Structure 1
Amino acid sequence: MKLGMIGLGRMGANMAQRLMKGGHQIVGFDPQAAARKDLEGKGAQTADSLTALVAALPSPRTLWLMVPAGEATDANLDALLPLLAAGDTIIDGGNSFYKDSMRRAKRFAERDIAYVDCGTSGGIWGLDEGYSLMIGGDEAAVERMRPIFESLAPAKDRGWARVGPAGAGHFAKMVHNGIEYGMMQAYAEGFSILRHKAEFDMDLQQVAEIWRYGSVVRSWLLDLTADALKKNPDMSGIAPYVADSGEGRWTVDEAIELNVPAPIITQSLIERLRSRDKDSFTDKLLSAMRNEFGGHPIKKA
């Protein structure tokens, strides 16, 4: 199958390479010439505009988007819509908000263009390990794209599936990332407790390696944690600032809307927000209140 790949950042380029290994032909587009040149060096064809990209694909066309969620995705879709025809398919493999995917699918369906939302997990390791793919959209459209998903997944018969109609793929990925927040927070807190027990002077990387085999808390995230501790046991040079890309917030919002208690995911998001407050007014006021009601000393800055 010959398909277009829009967005040749690290993950998009890796996905293009895995597809080529699966026997697919790739025509890639990215506004950055260096990204296009890099993919050309790996054996793919590239185009220097969306118009040229669409022209290089046989009908019915298949285009895979790997661009940031929100405005960037909408901008690309706005530009693509007049270039496409009935029977074409767009797959959004980024981290779009599921309600945006539902809206976009409806818009493209009016032109008889299939819109498939594909929640994609696997990060930079997906090139070698394969990607976990949570897919939403019309059942027939997803089935037509089966060769693509089979090439990207860890195996043809596992790691991917259609999970529901338009929006369902990105909804599943949103919740997946919310769970990821909680798991990461638990690992980080646990290893911090071990580190603070100074009298035992534990080798945290050693403990992580023990837990990787046979333990009920073993996981790929633990494998990555062990690797990080091996490279940098003291986390030196790393600022205590944790970003979030939006999916955790969306998961918490959805939990509230559905009246589903999600304290772990919610608190893990709060901790990320807290990590960015370098001059916490909250903590200063708490200290002042303790001084007011109990005369407790205030630590001066």
Structure 2
Amino acid sequence: MNIGMIGLGRMGGHMAQRLREGGHAVVGYDSSPQSDRDVDSMEALVKALSSPRVVWVMVPAGEPTDSVIETLAQLLDAEDLVVDGGNTRYADDTRHARYLDQRGIRFMDCGVSGGVWGAERGYAVMAGGSLEDFERVKPVLDALKPSGPDGLVLAGGVGAGHYAKMVHNAIEYGMMQALGEGFATMAKSPCITNPAAVMTSWKSGSVVSSWLLDLLANAFEDDPTLSGMPPVANESGEAKWMVESALELGVPTPVTAAALHMQQMSRGGADDILRAISTMRAQFGGHVTKV
């Protein structure tokens, strides 16, 4: 296929690379002149594509995605197809689809997982949209996913792909939190002499073996105590969105909520809370907080 890729960062650039290796012709655009872009504007990208066009958007969620969608609405023709592969909130997909539909432009959303390793390993792709549009871009999706029968799903209508990715990332947060807590507990215990070796041994034969554990074991090779890594974890929004959705649906999500709160605390979000708690303990019990 002939496809346009808007956004050539850590994900988009590697996806474009994998698509080219799969035999597809990719016209890439990024706002940064230092990127490996093929054209220097979205107008040039649209002109370089044959009709009916397919344009894949890989830019940050929120205003950047809104801006790209609004620009494409002015540049594309009826029956062209826009695929949002970023981490857009699922509720925004319906708004984007309706906006583009006013001009007869098709829309799909795709949650994509695989990180910087995706160019080599392939990506898990969770699509949302019509079956007709899914079949239209399936050659591209097949090139992105890993070899084998799994790694690609049409999760439902518009918004379903990003909803599935939201849940996926929230599960990821919980898994990382559990692995981190296990490492910290062993690191503090006098019973364990080498927590890194213990966790690395779980890569084979263990029920907790996973790619996340493999990546942690990779890091242990260079830094067994992880002392070189700052104790700060950023969160991109998906876990928060899942907790909000789960509350509306009446689904308890204590693990996801706890993992989300820990990531927020790592960025200093709990400093004022802890200062207030220490103040009250000092007032009622004379407890002196030691740093």
TM range (shorter): over 0.9
Q: How does 1:1-301 map to 2 (within 5 A)?
A: 1-36=1-36, 46-155=38-147, 157-201=149-193, 203-277=194-268, 280-295=271-286, 297-299=287-289
Q: What's the CA shift for 1:278? A: 7.7
Give per-residue Cα distances to partners, 1:174-210, cap 9 Å, x unaligned: 0111111111000000010010013432x22211221
TM score, norm. by length of structure 2: 0.96
Q: What's the CA shift for 1:31? A: 1.3
Secondary structure at the counterpart of residue 281 of structure 1: helix
1:279–1:99 CA distance, 2 compared to 1 (3 A): closer
- Residues 196, 225 of structure 2: 8 Å contact kept: no
Give the whole-Å Cα distance in 2 for the aligned partners of 1:253 and 1:281: 24
- Backbone CA RMSD of aligned residues: 1.5
Secondary structure at the counterpart of residue 267 of structure 2: coil
Q: What's the CA shift for 1:279? A: 7.7
Secondary structure at the counterpart of residue 28 of structure 2: strand
Q: What's the CA shift for 1:136? A: 0.1
Secondary structure at the counterpart of residue 227 of structure 1: helix
TM score, norm. by length of structure 1: 0.93
- Residues 150, 156 of structure 1: 8 Å contact kept: no
Deviates more, 1:106-115 or 1:142-151: 106-115
Give the whole-Å Cα distance in 1 for the aligned partners of 2:52 and 2:148: 23
Give the whole-Å Cα distance in 1 for the aligned partners of 2:171 and 2:7: 27
Q: What's the CA shift for 1:294? A: 3.0
Give per-residue Cα distances to partners, 1:88-118, cap 9 Å, x unaligned: 1111110000010111112222322111100
Give the whole-Å Cα distance in 1 for the aligned partners of 2:34 and 2:192: 50
Give the whole-Å Cα distance in 2 for the aligned partners of 1:210 and 1:158: 27
Deviates more, 1:156-165 or 1:217-226: 156-165
Identity score, percent: 46
Give per-residue Cα distances to partners, 1:38-84, cap 9 Å, x unaligned: x5xxxxxx111101100000000001111000100111111111111
- Residues 204, 229 of structure 1: 8 Å contact kept: no
- Residues 6, 28 of structure 1: 8 Å contact kept: yes
- Residues 93, 118 of structure 1: 8 Å contact kept: yes
Give the whole-Å Cα distance in 2 for the aligned partners of 1:199 and 1:278: 33
Q: What's the CA shift for 1:239? A: 2.1
Secondary structure at the counterpart of residue 133 of structure 1: strand
Q: What's the CA shift for 1:300? A: 5.2
Secondary structure at the counterpart of residue 83 of structure 2: strand
Give the whole-Å Cα distance in 2 for the aligned partners of 1:16 and 1:281: 44
- Residues 150, 157 of structure 1: 8 Å contact kept: no
- Residues 195, 204 of structure 1: 8 Å contact kept: yes
Deviates more, 1:74-83 or 1:127-136: 74-83
Aligned to 1:42: none
